[in-house]
């Protein structure tokens, strides 16, 4: 399109070359019922090179505005001829800013009458007036007390954030030459691990040496890739490698809050620092320094705020780790995410290594995992919307859950059970998106008595000891037994007849 006139310009403005004899004021912005808010907004618009005209019923005020180089005219909000001095076609937005709801409503009616093409922003003295003004036709309503309280809350948060930061530094400084143990929850996830690395960096900033300790396993290929690619240094504590916590002067709990609850700190030990985001009864938490923010989606978010507040430089690995921690703990900002998680992520985003993030999320698949997938696909048995499959002799337990996740994508399938036979147990992993089924409970009913089973409504697992059968050298017979046990018990537990297959071999 040539010429450069879009509809808005040709329609709304009497494009520039004079006014065709029209002496009325032209301005895209109009502020009606100015007052102190109005003149402040007008000043901001002028700073942005926007033309603005103010209308006020007080002639003296209009005079003062003119002296301050504003364009202003006298006009009453209740007057149906309010817009007479204005070329309405030039107006794009009107801000109606008096504190009188009735007068603001009258002004809205006058503007609506003149044009339905003007955006109207009106002021309400309280949230009560907000609905009235919206009903009268305002496109947006501003409520100054709300705005002031929001701004005050933000200031309060900043003040508290600064206080937190200086408090934690004091606790860390009081460690002196002693070492700090940073303990994450068992089977740590990226949120816990990245939060721990952040605390390590904060401790290092005041010369405090620290070590990250954990118990359990780092499950999932993604988490293993996370630890390797981001060089996360942690010490695993177990029966084979016990370490007395007495070698540390202070202990911090990250992403957990109570000794012995899902962490390696014994019950009788008093910890010094607790930073977590899981809701907990505060009377159960005992530490010199406690920062628990249940409204936050991730501990990594809290730690990012500390690093920001303390102005500690965040290297690429740490930024990437924290960003991944926030993303995974909020399920990609879909679960429990709060604006503070988004601002922390936005802060980390430019500092993070996105290529590494991609590699963490799509870790290389081992041959064993690929084989497991292959077998799970080949051996599938489908009954209605249920898919049950076995992977034969089990080598990689993580692959079971991955196969189950993958097979749940199959058209028409709502529940998947994948199992494999280990040394002396049958391992099962289940996934379901059938809202009528609580898979964790079903698995418990089916396998809880002879083995261990449990989980959530959509994700569950179980182990069944093979007992005397584990000695058998006849693998095909063992597989047959495993299949019978799994199918029979599972279908009985969910009340489905172990009937004909609709597909499979
Ligand atoms: Mn967490």
All structural domains of the chain, each given as residue ranges with its CATH number in brackets, are 25-142 (3.40.50.720), 156-361 (3.90.1640.10), 367-504 (3.10.310.30)
Positive or negative, the CA dihedral 100, 105, 111, 115 is positive
> Closest Cα to residue 36, out of 20, 19, 58?
58
Parallel, antiparallel, or unpaired for β 459-465 and 425-432?
Answer: antiparallel
Distance CA(19)–CA(187), nearest Å, equals 74
For residue 256, the CA-to-ligand 1 centroid distance in Å is 8
- pLDDT (tens digit, 9 = 90+) per residue, 370-382? 889 999 999 999 9
Residue 255 alpha carbon to ligand 1 centre in Å: 5
110 to each of 54, 94, 216, 368, 374, how far by Cα in Å?
16, 12, 70, 74, 72
Q: What confidence category does residue 3 fall into, taking pLDDT thresholds of 50, 70 and 90?
A: very low
Rounded average pLDDT over 283-301: 94
49-61: average pLDDT:
93
Phi, psi of 503 (to 5 degrees): -160, 160
Q: Cα of 323 to ligand 1 centre, how many Å?
A: 12
Report the pLDDT value the prediction gives residue 206, as an integer from 0 to 100. 95
For the segment 56-79, the average pLDDT, to the nearest whole number, is 93
Question: Which pLDDT belongs to residue 501?
Answer: 59
pLDDT value, residue 503: 53
Mean pLDDT of the chain: 89
Q: How confident is the model at residue 167 (pLDDT cuts 50, 70, 90)?
A: very high
Tokens 């001095």 belong to which residue?
Answer: 85
pLDDT of residue 2: 44
- Of the listed ranges 81-85, 187-191, 319-323, 450-454, the least confidently predicted one is 450-454
DSSP one-letter code for 269: P
Retrieve residue 414's tokens: 């709502």
Q: What is the pLDDT of residue 302?
A: 97
Distances (CA, A) of 56 to 108, 152, 365: 15, 30, 71
Span 82-95, average pLDDT: 94
Q: How much is the pLDDT for 505? A: 42
CA of 110 to the centre of ligand 1 (A): 54
How remote is the CA of residue 403 from the centroid of ligand 1, in Å?
25
pLDDT of residue 362: 80
Residue 340 to residue 58: CA distance in whole angstroms: 44
Give CA angle at 410 (404, 415), nearest 5°: 50
The DSSP H or E segment spanning 292 is: strand 289-292
Strand residues in 1-144 grouped as ranges (E):
29-32, 52-56, 71-74, 93-96, 119-123, 140-142
- What's the mean pLDDT in 331-335? 82
Q: With contact defined as beta carbons under 8 Å apart, do 27 and 51 qualify? A: yes
Q: Give the whole-angstrom CA distance, residue 255 versus residue 277.
A: 7
Lowest mean pLDDT among 54-63, 287-296, 328-337, 492-501: 492-501
Report how far residue 81's alpha carbon sits from residue 92's, in angstroms, rounded to the nearest whole number: 19
| Distance between Cα 460 and ligand 1 center (Å) | 20
What is the distance in A from the centroid of ligand 1 to the CA of 173?
26
Q: Are 300 and 352 in contact (CB under 8 A)?
A: no
What is the tens place of the pLDDT at every residue in 473-504? 788 888 888 898 899 999 999 887 655 555 54
The CA 157 to ligand 1 mean position distance, Å, reads: 21
Is the pTM for the entire model greater than 0.85? no
> Measured between alpha carbons, how far is 403 from 418 in angstroms, rounded to an integer?
7
Distance 345 CA to ligand 1 centre (A): 15
Cross-strand partners of 390: 419
Return the pLDDT at 15: 44
Name which of 233-242, 334-343, 440-449, 491-500 the model is least confident about. Answer: 491-500
Span from the CA of 377 to the centroid of ligand 1 (angstroms): 34
303-314 tens-digit pLDDT: 999 999 999 999
CA of 191 to the centre of ligand 1 (A): 5
CA distances in angstroms from 136 to 75, 91, 141, listed in the order given: 20, 19, 11
For 237-244, what is the mean pLDDT? Answer: 84
Taking the centre of ligand 1 as the mean of its atom positions, its distance from the CA of residue 216, in whole angstroms, is 16
Confidence label for 457 from pLDDT (cuts 50, 70 and 90):
confident
Letter string b/e over residues 267-282, b meaning 16 or more CB atoms within 10 A of that residue's CB: eeeebbbbbbbeebee
Provide φ and ψ at 100, rounded to 5°: -100, 105
CA of 192 to the centre of ligand 1 (A): 6
**Is residue 282 over pLDDT 70?**
yes
């Amino acid at each position: 399109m040539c010429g450069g006139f879009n509809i808005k310009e040709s329609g709304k403005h009497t494009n520039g070359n004079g006014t065709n004899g029209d002496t009325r004021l032209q301005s895209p912005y109009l502020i009606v019922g100015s007052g102190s808010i109005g003149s402040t907004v007008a000043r901001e618009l002028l700073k942005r090179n926007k033309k603005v005209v103010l209308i006020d019923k007080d002639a003296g005020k209009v005079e003062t505005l003119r002296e301050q180089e504003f364009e202003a005219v006298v006009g009453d909000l209740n007057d149906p001829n309010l817009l007479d001095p204005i070329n309405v076609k030039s107006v794009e937005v009107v801000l109606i800013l008096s504190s009188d709801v009735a007068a603001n409503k009258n002004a809205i009616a006058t503007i609506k009458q003149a044009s339905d093409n003007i955006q109207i922003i009106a002021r309400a003295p309280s949230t009560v007036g907000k609905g009235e003004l919206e009903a009268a036709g305002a496109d947006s309503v501003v409520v100054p007390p709300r705005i002031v309280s929001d701004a005050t809350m933000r200031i309060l948060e900043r003040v508290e954030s600064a206080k937190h930061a200086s408090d934690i530094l004091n606790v860390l400084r009081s460690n002196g030459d002693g070492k700090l143990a940073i303990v994450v929850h068992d089977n740590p996830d990226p949120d816990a691990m990245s939060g721990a690395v952040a605390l390590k960096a904060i401790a290092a900033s005041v010369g405090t040496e620290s070590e990250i300790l954990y118990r359990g396993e780092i499950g999932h290929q993604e988490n293993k890739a996370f630890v390797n690619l981001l060089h996360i240094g942690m010490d695993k504590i177990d029966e084979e490698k016990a370490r007395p916590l007495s070698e540390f002067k202070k202990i911090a709990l990250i992403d957990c809050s109570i000794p012995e609850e899902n962490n390696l700190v014994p019950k009788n030990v008093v910890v010094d620092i607790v930073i977590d985001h899981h809701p907990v009864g505060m009377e159960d938490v005992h530490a010199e320094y406690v920062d628990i923010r249940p409204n936050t989606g991730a501990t990594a978010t809290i730690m990012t705020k500390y690093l920001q507040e303390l102005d500690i430089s965040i290297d690429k690995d740490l930024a990437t780790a924290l960003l991944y921690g926030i993303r995974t703990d909020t399920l990609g900002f879909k679960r429990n995410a709060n604006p503070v998680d988004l601002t922390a992520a936005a802060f980390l985003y430019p500092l993070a290594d996105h290529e590494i993030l991609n590699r963490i999320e799509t870790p290389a698949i081992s041959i064993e995992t690929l084989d497991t997938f292959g077998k799970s696909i080949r051996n599938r048995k489908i009954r209605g919307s249920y898919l049950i499959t076995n992977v034969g002799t089990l080598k990689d337990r993580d692959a079971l859950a991955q196969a189950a996740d993958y097979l749940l994508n199959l058209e028409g399938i709502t529940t998947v059970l994948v199992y494999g036979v280990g040394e002396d147990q049958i391992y099962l992993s289940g996934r379901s998106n059938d809202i009528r089924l609580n898979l964790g409970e079903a698995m418990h009913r089916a396998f809880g008595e002879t083995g261990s089973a449990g989980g959530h409504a959509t994700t569950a697992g179980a182990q069944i000891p093979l007992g005397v059968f584990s000695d058998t050298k006849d693998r095909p017979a063992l597989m047959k037994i495993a299949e019978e046990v799994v199918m029979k018990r599972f279908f009985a537990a969910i009340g489905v007849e172990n009937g004909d297959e609709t597909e499979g071999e």
